[in-house]
């Protein structure tokens, strides 16, 4: 029974708050970064070999062999290691280009919305606190933080505003999966 668990792995991580950028590693058995931060009851992350820096200058203001980061303070985070696993079955979603504003940061990339009849319904269907943004770019010119490109950024939905440009194409139905009638 216990042999089926995933082994613990170290995941290099960058955590961004409104006033700090934290580099370090986390230990997890989970495969997806979004699962790590959306796990029920998790209110903080334990970060190993943490370096706390000022945004923009990246001047180190503190270090710690072990640190606790409060998730409600996190604007977004990303990893320097492997990103989301595509092998696991997930609900079909539609990728759509969006701009997310998590002051002082601006984030551009693709959010993945469930297939609903209308775009506004799909946007309203976000339920996880942390949502993935793929092919992401983030910056904060007001604090001299230059643009950074990452494959996957996990954004705190409670701390971000989402803007989708007018005229973005939206499919109101799930894509055809080749004529298969089996819903499973």
H/E run at residue 123: helix 119-124
- Residue 122 predicted with pLDDT over 90: no
Q: Are residues 69 and 98 in the same domain?
A: no
Mean pLDDT of the chain: 86
Residue 13 sits in the same domain as residue 67: yes
Tell whether 72 and 100 lie within a shared domain. Answer: no
Tell me whether residue 175 is in a domain: no
Residues 58 and 29 in one domain: yes
Strand positions, DSSP E, 7-73 = 9-17, 21-28, 44-53, 60-70
Count of domains forming the chain: 2
pLDDT of residue 89: 46
Q: What pLDDT is stored for residue 184 in this prediction?
A: 37
Report d(CA 2, CA 6) in Å as an integer: 9
Tell whether 36 and 97 lie within a shared domain: no
**Residue with the two structure tokens 């923009």:** 56
- pLDDT at residue 182, rounded to an integer: 42
Region 20-40: what's the mean pLDDT? 93
In a domain, 179, yes or no: no
Identify the CATH number of the domain in which residue 18 sits: 2.30.30.100
Residue span of the structural domain in which 105 resides:
93-163
What pLDDT was estimated at residue 183?
44
Residues 35-64 pLDDT 10s: 999 999 999 999 999 999 999 888 999 999
Residues 74 and 21 reside in one and the same domain: yes
This prediction has a pTM of 0.85
Residue where a domain stops, chosen among 15, 46, 79: 79
Give, in order, the Cα–Cα distances in Å from 153 to each of 19, 78, 107, 116, 144.
18, 5, 9, 24, 20
> Which pLDDT score is estimated for 177?
54
């Amino acid at each position: 029974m216990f042999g089926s668990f995933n082994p613990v792995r170290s995941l290099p991580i960058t955590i961004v708050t409104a006033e700090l950028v934290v580099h370090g590693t986390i230990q997890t058995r989970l495969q997806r970064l979004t699962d790590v931060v959306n796990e029920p009851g998790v209110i903080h992350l334990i970060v190993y070999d943490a370096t706390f820096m000022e945004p923009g200058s990246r001047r180190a203001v503190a270090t710690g062999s072990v640190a606790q980061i409060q998730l409600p303070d996190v604007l977004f985070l990303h990893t320097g290691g492997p990103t989301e696993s595509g092998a696991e079955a997930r609900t079909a979603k539609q990728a759509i280009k969006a701009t997310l504003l998590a002051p002082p940061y601006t984030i551009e990339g693709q959010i993945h919305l469930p297939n609903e009849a209308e775009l506004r319904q799909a946007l309203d269907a976000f339920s996880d606190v942390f949502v993935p943004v793929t092919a992401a770019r983030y910056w904060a010119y007001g604090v001299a933080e230059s643009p950074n490109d990452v494959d996957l950024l996990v954004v705190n939905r409670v701390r971000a505003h989402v803007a989708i440009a007018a005229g973005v194409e939206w499919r109101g139905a799930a894509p055809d999966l080749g004529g298969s009638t089996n819903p499973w």
